Amino acid sequence: MTRVLHVLHSMDLGGVETLLTNLWRKRDPQRLAFDFLVHTPQKMHYEAELLAGGAVIHRLPALRALGPVRYVRALECFFAAHPAYTIVHSHLETTTGLILQAAKRSAVPVRIAHSHNTGYPRGGLRALPENALKDWCKTKIVPNATHRLACSHEAAQWLFCGAPAQILPNGIDCEAFRFLAQARAQKRALLGVAEDERVFVHVGRYTPVKNQTFLLDFWPQVPNARLLLIGDGPLRGELEQKIAAQDARRGARGQNTTKRSAAVRVLGKQTDIAAWLCAADGFLLPSLIEGLPVALVEARASGLPCLVSPRVPLEGVPAQVLPLKKQAWIDAIAALRPCAPEARAAAADQVAAMGYDVARSLALLEEIYESKQ
């Protein structure tokens, strides 16, 4: 059996984590084992499922907590204590440079760098020291990686600075996201939404780079439409406060806030994303930084029209790209009409044919894992 060590911040609910869990579920457990080295002490969304399925989860303090010297020393100690790992697959963006450097010093034969993004989440003067450290870590990736993977060409260019890389599609279980009319009816009944009322959904962590506040800024100007925000993250309280403040301003002007209060819902984490996508009529992603979002692939498999910012690489996934200008989004949302159920149901097959089925992604990954064993 081949044992692979995946290194990342956590196995909580997010795009990279969902991709890895999809691959883990699809693999042959007699042939391939996934273990995880994470950098959080907290319990994670996928933790119970992974442990029940035989995965081993190791924990290590993050680079920020230890500093570069102690972090590399901790990694080298870890690899020395776990010589069975002959494949290290790092998903930690620029920190990958230090991870693979330590793996190389520890004679790990297969060292994989995987890019899932196209930029740093924080900018400005306050982020200069942090980003300078990341730039330094980035220089160590190419010399220490035996393989370079990326979810998109833009993500490859950003992390590997022009060095050759292989694109690994963010595969999903396309059948699990096939449109179901029954799921649509159940979720819309739960929301109290009439069939002729339009529902739009955004799926992503509540962080600045996902840009949910942009949607909230113009949503009061969108008539007869609901917005569902699915995810979790540090900005949840801020988003909820912003919605409450908008309602308060409308109330002060004597407007009826009852319907508008329900027009934006912060739903938090949801385990049945596919059903919520069935309930929606469109998917919105105004991100400031993306690699290639798993949520976008899932939305297309559900047959949803997708509106995205220019910062979202598409890699063949159909979507309407809009500038980050409020009126452009208001007009596009107003013009969007729901797709027919038959067309939505057929979309899962179309996304699979585009190469985004998890079985295909797993087959490509297995070839890489076996290439230097």
Mean predicted confidence (pLDDT) in 224-245: 94
Tokens at residue 213, please?
């506040």
The reported pTM is 0.92
Domain spanning 2-171+358-370: CATH superfamily: Glycogen Phosphorylase B; (3.40.50.2000)
Main-chain phi, psi angles of 230, to 5 degrees: -110, 130
Residue 350: pLDDT band with limits 50, 70, 90: very high
* 174-355 has the same fold as 2-171+358-370: yes
pLDDT digits (tens, 9 = 90+) for 10-60: 999 889 999 999 999 999 999 999 999 999 999 999 999 999 999 999 999
The reported pLDDT for the residue numbered 255 is 56
**pLDDT tens digits along 262-318:** 589 999 999 999 999 999 999 999 999 999 999 999 999 999 999 999 999 999 999
Neighbours of 342 (CB within 10 A): 9
In this prediction, residue 371 carries a pLDDT of 79
User: Would the pLDDT of 92 be above 60?
Assistant: yes
Q: What is the pLDDT of residue 269?
A: 92
Q: pLDDT of 158-170, one tens digit each?
A: 999 999 999 999 9
Q: Where are the domains of the chain?
A: 2-171+358-370, 174-355
CA angle 179, 180, 185 (to 5 degrees): 120
CA atoms 107, 109, 110, 113: torsion sign: positive
pLDDT, tens digit (0-9, with 9 covering 90-100), for 321-349: 999 999 999 999 999 988 999 999 999 99
Q: Are 244 and 207 in contact (CB under 8 A)?
A: no
Band of the pLDDT at 123, cuts 50, 70, 90? confident
Q: At 257, is the pLDDT very low, low, confident or very high (cuts 50, 70, 90)?
A: very low
CA 221/CA 326 separation, integer angstroms: 10
Q: Of the CATH numbers 3.30.1490.20, 3.40.50.2000, 3.50.50.60, 3.30.1360.120, which one belongs to the domain with range 174-355?
A: 3.40.50.2000
Q: Is residue 66 over pLDDT 60?
A: yes
What confidence tier does 261 reach under pLDDT thresholds 50, 70, 90?
very low
Supply the DSSP symbol for 172: B
pLDDT of residue 370: 86
Among 21, 161, 30, smallest CA distance to 91 is for 21
